[in-house]
Structure 1
């Protein structure tokens, strides 16, 4: 059974680059999230094995509404008033537990799930497929909404994507080898390039990409 220990992790890389064999994705300041749907059961797990369901019911509902069974790899975020990911608002959502406060927080600071990979679709383990084939299966499985967003990435133009990162003041970007399979643990087939000008609160143990 697939669980949070199976997540593929990116290796830190020093500088942006461009390569036609690598797509580049924006790096959001959120919690890494493994979204599992089996029948009517939905579970949202952090990288460190924390269950997010109670604090993010709107995300659970959005995943529940997607047909079929699947396991997705994603980033859970809450945006600030400028539309950028806010780790502080996300952290507050994560520690909100009472149903009344959770409902209020979901309205004032709604969460989003940026889905960038699939480990399983319709009960079939697809981790041995190349990245772009997995993303094709993923793209066909749901439509974008205010809560669920497909993270596509841009091929070749890593340096251009990183300029976009700096203009928007984002955390960084993730480069992924196009032909890479989904591998458990740290891999050089996924590289994270951080923007040194980005400021954020210290991580509090929930687990990031």
Structure 2
């Protein structure tokens, strides 16, 4: 599910507003003991991020999550450059050293499947609590929370903390493949990393 660009922040009942982390969009699929970290172009990133694979493997059950993979503060040029450098590593000792020096974190913001249940037809307001119940936050896994209604207040915090922007999501919307006006992204024009490549 992809978001549509909107220029001006807004507040409205029935909407959830989340900070927009600057990283790589991933679908995370766990089937029994098998874990796959799949980038939006369909690349498997397991080898480059073993600490994330291990963290997901420790979560009970089978599921598919929609996430953002980040490093460090999840914003700014330094964090994104470290993430991008890690993604192309292929030599095991270098990968382990980079994981210790610049550990990654998975910010999970939606769930598509739990066990044998396809949750995509459910409203976001129903999917989010299911995702929250899947795991506790750790140094490697973060539940991406949001604030309802007061989008303009959330955007003030985006600016204050120099995040890439925010994503507004209609709470009654199902999860649909492709771009939709049910998810809107509002970018911060003064963000410290111009032409950001991370997206949702």
Smaller-chain TM-score bracket = over 0.9
Q: Aligned equivalents of 1:203 and 1:15: distance in 2?
A: 18
Q: With the length of structure 2 as denominator, give the TM-score of the two structures.
A: 0.95
- 1:87 CA displacement: 1.0
Aligned to 2:71: 78
* Residue 170, structure 1, aligned to residue 163, structure 2: yes
Secondary structure in 2 matching 1:141 = coil
Q: With the length of structure 1 as denominator, give the TM-score of the two structures.
A: 0.91
Aligned to 2:127: 134
Q: Aligned equivalents of 1:108 and 1:27: distance in 2?
A: 24
Do 1:25 and 1:173's aligned partners in 2 also have CA atoms closer than 8 Å? yes
Q: Following superposition of structure 1 onto structure 2, how do residues 141-152 of structure 1 map, counting pairs within 5 Å?
A: 141-152=134-145
- 1:84 CA displacement: 3.9
Q: Aligned equivalents of 1:20 and 1:129: distance in 2?
A: 19
Q: Any stretches of 5+ residues in structure 1 without a counterpart? A: 1-7
Q: Any stretches of 5+ residues in structure 2 without a counterpart? A: none
* Residue 120, structure 1, aligned to residue 122, structure 2: no
- 1:199 CA displacement: 2.9
Do 1:87 and 1:201's aligned partners in 2 also have CA atoms closer than 8 Å? no
Aligned to 2:17: 24
- Cα deviation, 1:164-188, whole Å, max 9, x if unaligned, reads 0000011000000010000000000
Aligned to 2:81: 88
Among 58, 62, 73, the residue aligned to 1:65: 58
Secondary structure in 2 matching 1:44 = strand
Judge which range, 37-46 or 84-93, deviates more: 84-93
Among 101, 109, 113, the residue aligned to 2:102: 109
Do 1:23 and 1:155's aligned partners in 2 also have CA atoms closer than 8 Å? yes
Secondary structure in 1 matching 2:87 = helix
Q: Aligned equivalents of 2:195 and 2:82: distance in 1?
A: 13
> Between Structure 1 and Structure 2, how many residues are aligned?
198
* Residue 208, structure 1, aligned to residue 199, structure 2: yes
